[in-house]
Chain A
Amino acid sequence: MNAHLLPTGSPYFSVPETQLPERHTLSVLVDNEPGILARVVGLFSARGYNIDSLTVSETEHDRGLSRITVVTVATPKVLTQIKLQLARLVPVHKVHDLTAEGASLERELALIKVGGTGEPRSEALRLADAFRAQIVDATTESFVFEVTGKPSKIDSFIALMAPLGLIEVVRTGLAAISRGPKGM
């Protein structure tokens, strides 16, 4: 996961890295065509870039467009390269750096399965209520909670569930959009 610290494998580039890595959320508008995800992911692996989270879905069916939200950690120099390399791919329409371009909304959905009976079960229910988590499945000894929010909120909810009988977690990865009236 520290690939971003070594921009390439060649010691020609072993210049002392003076910039600190930053976490950025990129929104990439692409043609929804076969292989597009492989193209984007292949670019990240071939050039040693880092992917923290990746979310893909068709967003404009009529125009055949998908939006890829990718969270990456890289130094500013490498980040610039990532954006330019993405923009160079033929089916890529636009690359926006939501982190750099000002205020944006970031949301993630998680489904969290918690088992248990008695007091831990009641405590899980109380916490779920505090986090506005929905109960989407229940048995006498388990719940599946659906929780939506910023990744940090989901992280804390999962951390609280851990001692109460956490069984498994699935997360969608990040969806992000800029605030205000303008679109991509």
Chain B
Amino acid sequence: MAEQMTGAEMVLRALTNNGVTHIFGYPGGAALPIYDALFQQDAVQHILVRHEQGAGHMAEGYARSTGKVGVVLVTSGPGATNVVTPLTDALMDSVPLVVLSAQVSTTLIGSDAFQECDTVGITRSCTKHNYLVKNVNDLPRVLHEAFHIASSGRPGPVLVDIPKDVQFAMGTYLGPDEIGTTRHASYHPATDGDAAAIAAAVDLMLRAERPVFYTGGGVINSGPQASERLRELAELTGFPVTSTLLGLGSYPGSGPQWLGMLGMHGSYEANMAMHDCDLMICIGARFDDRITGRIDAFSPNSTKIHVDIDASSIGKNVRVHLPIIGDSGLVMAEMVRIWRSRTNAPRTEALAPWWEQIAKWRAKNSFGFTNSTTTIKPQHAIKRLHAATKGRDVYVTTEVGQHQMWAAQHFPFELPNHWMTSGGLGTMGYGLPAAVGVQVAHPDALVIDIAGEASVQMTMQEMSTAVQYKLPIKIFILNNERMGMVRQWQDLLHGGRYASSYSESLPDFVKLAEAYGGKGIRCSDPALLDAAIAEMLDYDGPVLFDCLVEKHENCLPMIPSGKPHNEMILPDFTEAIGDIIDAKGRQLV
């Protein structure tokens, strides 16, 4: 029903019509009409953040743990520029976000007005799409379209810039069904894969002797049913499964065919299986440089099938033999159907030599480490944290660096949407606000941010948001008093000259937690670790856990820069770490 209302009221109506119950934001001059409309309704709850970057990452955590669109509301100028990092993060990791930014009035645009910036210009390259709405009657269509574009196809962030006079103006509101945004003139993302291509893929799978499933965030983004199809497909075929950092949880970490994460800090068996396979079935992953290592030596003898909803991901970095453009869940469902129509018997015998080979690689125990009774090893801390939370509904977020890789290696996930980390952009400061967003979506779940002492300080102010909304997030800081990954690379590449990688003048995290109104716990003794973790988990409120760990632990295994998969450094590596990377590899990041 067409209804007259102000632009600000349209925003709230469009949010409820699109199923939004929570938004993350920060007010300001240009956004005041929308805030006034927010104040006069109850359907949408607003979470007041401390910095707009926090709002963006909270919305990302919310979106990734629910599969819904995360929504952010910010003011013009600095409000908008502060969400550029989360927008870029969401674009790289395909997270559905709708960011509503206020803008100065249309009459002031271009005059360098107070808190004016070219928001659509600044965010054009870090959004899937963006809009500046100059006429209030365009606003309903644009808002519905924004939700449709953010959540369909390869998900991503969409920004809608709304000038203040448009928020005040009266116009005609139409709902999503009345406008029919799904019949968009030029935006038609692929869904079903080509049937002949899927049948050809199954033919290749039926003949494969050394196959591997290489799965990514696309399986998670396709929804929980896609993870179910992956599990079904893995069981039917008997093929090993590995996954990217963003794909963790789509196949259970306790599953018999699980090889562990692949890539730069992935397991030896996963990377060797990728290198030596005869058939690679890539589903919803994009052959990122952290995965491939040296690209001209990447899996030299395999036939590659690539399933992706984004055609431009196919053939971008690696030449594939059989592209399938479509939704990973739908394509896998079709693969399951065709496989069943061809055979009932698993190909156990044909795959036996391959599994024997994998067992030999597994025996290297590439995630192994030397434990200590005097200092807490970071890997050990994560293993104990996992043991203490087993059986609970636990969601994990991370910051970026060594702790993130150790979490991916040592904290196995059984379910999709339970692991939130910044993969593509590698945004330090992601984990704490993301945990807040996850906790908002899942008030009764256990939400843990596995953090580093450097990263966590980038968005520490959101601790205040957690306290305000009584969100009992647990921030588990692996404190080595160093930017550990930077230090590790300085060891590898720069002769151990630790330029600016020492965390000088650290705050007292226990006192800091108390200053925010949360709880602080410190532990440096391996013998007391379990009790301290239990204390953290038992506390009903936000906790900063300062876990003092071994300071110079390197994150291994590792594919050094410029090396192929089969030249990984393993934990028992004894040569000088500074001598492995050649001159060309030094240029790489």
Contacts and interface: CB of A to CB of B under 8 A. Distances in A.
Interface stretch (A84-92, A134-142, A165-173): A84-92
10 contacts: A12-B289, A12-B295, A15-B295, A35-B132, A46-B125, A81-B316, A84-B314, A90-B129, A91-B186, A92-B186
B311 A38 contact: no
Interface string A29-49: 011001100110010001000
Interface in A89-116: 89-93
Interface in B482-537: none
Nearest to B121: A38
B185 A34 contact: no
B327 to A, nearest CB: 16
B588 A38 contact: no
A183 interface: no
A152 interface: no
Given A42-B125, A80-B315, A81-B312, 7 more contacts: A11-B562, A11-B584, A13-B317, A15-B296, A39-B124, A87-B312, A90-B184
A87 B311 contact: yes
Nearest to B589: A10
A12 B315 contact: no
Q: Which 6 A-B pairs have the closest CB atoms?
A: A84-B312, A90-B129, A93-B186, A12-B289, A15-B296, A11-B587
Contacts of A89: 129
B403 interface: no
Interface string B295-320: 11000000000000011101111010
A88 B312 CA distance: 8
Contacts of B315: 77, 80-81
Interface residues of B, number: 30
Interface of B: 120-121, 124-125, 128-129, 132, 149, 184-187, 289, 292, 294-296, 310-312, 314-317, 319, 562, 584, 587-589
Nearest to B587: A11
Interface string A16-33: 100000000000001100
B132 A31 contact: no
A38 B124 contact: yes
Contacts of B562: 11-12
Contacts of A87: 311-312
A85 B310 CA distance: 9
Interface size class of A (residues with CB under 8 A): 20 to 34
Contacts of B187: 90
B299 to A, nearest CB: 14
B588 A10 contact: yes
Contacts of A14: 584
A88 B317 CA distance: 17
Interface centre among A11, A34, A42, A84 (most CB of B within 10 A): A11
A42 B125 CA distance: 7
Nearest to B310: A88
A14 B289 CA distance: 12
A81 B311 CA distance: 9
Contacts of A84: 311-312, 314
Contacts of A80: 315
Q: For B310, B316, B319, which residue has the most chain A Cβ atoms within 10 angstroms?
A: B316
Contact of A88 (B185, B294, B295, B311): B311
B186 A10 contact: no
A14 B585 CA distance: 11
Nearest to A80: B315
A13 B587 CA distance: 12
Contacts of B296: 15-16
B127 to A, nearest CB: 10
A93 B295 CA distance: 33
A42 B130 CA distance: 14
Chain A CB within 10 A, most for which of B124, B185, B186, B589? B186
Nearest to B315: A80
Contact of A11 (B121, B186, B292, B588): B588
A90 B186 contact: yes
Contacts of B319: 77
